[in-house]
Structure 1
Amino acid sequence: MGQDPIILIVRTIGEIFAFIAILRFLLQAVKADYYNPISQAVVKITQVPMAPLQKMGLRIRGLDFSPLLLAFLVKVLAFAIIFLYLGAGFPLPSIAIFSAVGVFSNILTILFWATIGSVIISWVAPGNPHPAPQILLQLTEPLYAIVRKVIPPIGGLDLSPIVILLGIQLIQSQLARFLV
């Protein structure tokens, strides 16, 4: 039996927009190149809904958390529409928990795939000037640096991507019980 097309559309649009908002947060958190065309696209796509949220001043240590709030609100809205469509009412506490855990899980998913992408790029095309590999490397290098402080490269072999991937998988396996 297939899924209802309305639910599929609402959930897909919500997930894509939440993904872009989370990507905006991550790009500014790692201080990625603002003039990269991908960074510019992410900023332009999220600029209109971000404007009122940025006025709230959700800055901590110079980091703007309004993109995460936007992702959370988008997920809340998508879940609310789905619950109301199904006639299940509007269980706000459940929706808020699903949305918050979903945002955190999406952050981990982005970092997971960015790590895999950066590993592949380091094998296939190291130093590639294309904007996509540059963004992937800028997203993952701060994580690699943290792990390298604990586990330095051994004989030229950097184990930090493996540690990061295992850590993300461990955390996501614990989050799975809170996701819809």
Structure 2
Amino acid sequence: MSSPFQFLIETLFDLYIMVILLRFLLQLFRADFYNPLSQFVVRATNPVLKPLRKVVPGYGGIDVSSLLFAYVVSLVKYLLLFAVLASAIPPFSKLLLISLADLLNQGISLIFWMILIRALMSWVSPGLNNPIVSVIYQLTEPLMAPVRRMLPPMGGLDLSPVFLLLGLQFTLMAIESWVLSPLFRLL
């Protein structure tokens, strides 16, 4: 049974984890940092990431500090959830695995929703005038281009989002059934 506290904790932490992961993706795909959405993400994450980068630098173009920060926030989320809702906190090793699987799940979900929004926006308004749509295109194109190259031409119809969404949904279901469910059953 879900409680209002569980809803509140999960919602607030998940939203912030999504912002941190968005920051990671913005840097990974070198999206426009002067975009209003990008500026919001930078302002929301800089207070922690700026000092953390001095201790945990990037590696090979990958922003390790933002991934570490997202992981720690996910870990704190589960510590709070178990402290509020359960009688005991599970072993720390299980919390580490649950947090890692949750972070992976949220990253894939974020990409899933961006691709879905991009596909819907291409039907409604193919222009890139909206700053949010422009960032979504910048973040999803590196993922969609390889899929598009593998598919034969369909006469102007781009099916790459469909195949990418199927693959992402399969991955989400695999994480849920093969990783998260067994971990929660062991608790």
Q: TM-score, normalised by structure 2?
A: 0.89
CA distance in 2, matches of 1:164, 1:36: 26
1:112 CA displacement: 0.8
Query: Given residue 69 of structure 2, which amino acid in structure 1 is its aligned partner?
Result: L
- State the aligned residue count: 179
Quote the residue 1:106 is aligned against: 106
SS of corresponding position for 2:19:
helix
1:152 CA displacement: 4.1
CA distance in 2, matches of 1:93, 1:18: 21
Quote the residue 2:25 is aligned against: 26
1:56 CA displacement: 2.6
Give CA-to-partner distance per residue, 1:132-168, whole Å, 9 cap, x none: 1111111111111111222243222222111101110
Is the counterpart of residue 43 in structure 1 residue 45 in structure 2? no
Give CA-to-partner distance per residue, 1:51-107, whole Å, 9 cap, x none: 232123342222212111111100101111221232312421111111111111111
Q: Is the 8 A contact 1:79 1:95 kept in 2?
A: yes
1:8 CA displacement: 2.3
CA distance in 2, matches of 1:167, 1:123: 22
Percent identity over paired residues: 35
Q: 75-84 or 38-47: which moved more?
A: 75-84
CA distance in 2, matches of 1:71, 1:84: 20
Is the counterpart of residue 57 in structure 1 residue 56 in structure 2? yes
Quote the residue 1:4 is aligned against: 3
CA distance in 1, matches of 2:154, 2:46: 44
Q: Is the 8 A contact 1:153 1:159 kept in 2?
A: no
What stretches of structure 1 of length at least 5 have no aligned partner? Answer: none
Please list every run of at least 4 consecutive aligned residues from structure 1 whose deviation after the TM superposition is greater than 3 angstroms: none
Q: Is the 8 A contact 1:38 1:131 kept in 2?
A: yes
Q: 149-158 or 138-147: which moved more?
A: 149-158
CA distance in 2, matches of 1:11, 1:118: 26
Is the counterpart of residue 142 in structure 1 residue 139 in structure 2? no
Quote the residue 1:93 is aligned against: 93
CA distance in 2, matches of 1:98, 1:89: 12
SS of corresponding position for 1:47:
helix
CA distance in 2, matches of 1:152, 1:136: 24
What stretches of structure 2 of length at least 5 have no aligned partner? Answer: none
Q: Is the 8 A contact 2:52 2:65 kept in 1?
A: yes
Quote the residue 2:70 is aligned against: 71
Is the counterpart of residue 132 in structure 1 residue 132 in structure 2? yes
CA distance in 2, matches of 1:87, 1:47: 35
SS of corresponding position for 2:46:
helix
